[in-house]
Amino acid sequence: MAVKWIEHKGVRILCADFSGLIMNTQLMPVLDEAYQQFRLEKGKVRTLLNFTDAVIDKEFMNYVKEQGKSNPAENTEKDAYVGITGVKNVLLRAYLYVTKDPARVFDTEDEALDWLAE
């Protein structure tokens, strides 16, 4: 299952696994399911997004922006990204810094989960 709730160190985390997906027709349904789960949650949400070996293009990023407009930012407690490498990693880190977004980028899922559970 690409989107699921897990418990890590006693903390409930919404996980969206985009790893290995290379086409928008594969990526977008996972994003839609993650957003649906996010919207159903009453309290603050901690989210792990794994993009290891996923191919992300401008069309997908525009879709993310559009879909994200309907998600209340105050419901996000922490976001962690995994599998974003190279130039995309640098760009995401710069974006997070400039926007003061509290999300973080990690090299491994274990590191991300431990941070989300803090």
Token duo for residue 100: 């003061």
**Dihedral sign of CA atoms 35, 37, 40, 45 in order:** negative
pTM: 0.90
Total number of domains constituting the chain:
1
26-67 pLDDT, tens digit per residue, is: 999 999 999 999 989 988 999 999 999 999 888 998 898 888
79-88 pLDDT, tens digit per residue, is: 999 999 988 8
Q: Which CATH number belongs to the domain containing residue 27 in this structure?
A: 3.40.50
Side-chain half-sphere exposure of 109, counting CA atoms within 13 A: 14
Q: Give which of 46, 48, 45 is closest to 30, Cα–Cα.
A: 48
Q: How confident is the model at residue 72 (pLDDT cuts 50, 70, 90)?
A: low
- Provide the 10 A C-beta neighbour count for residue 105: 21
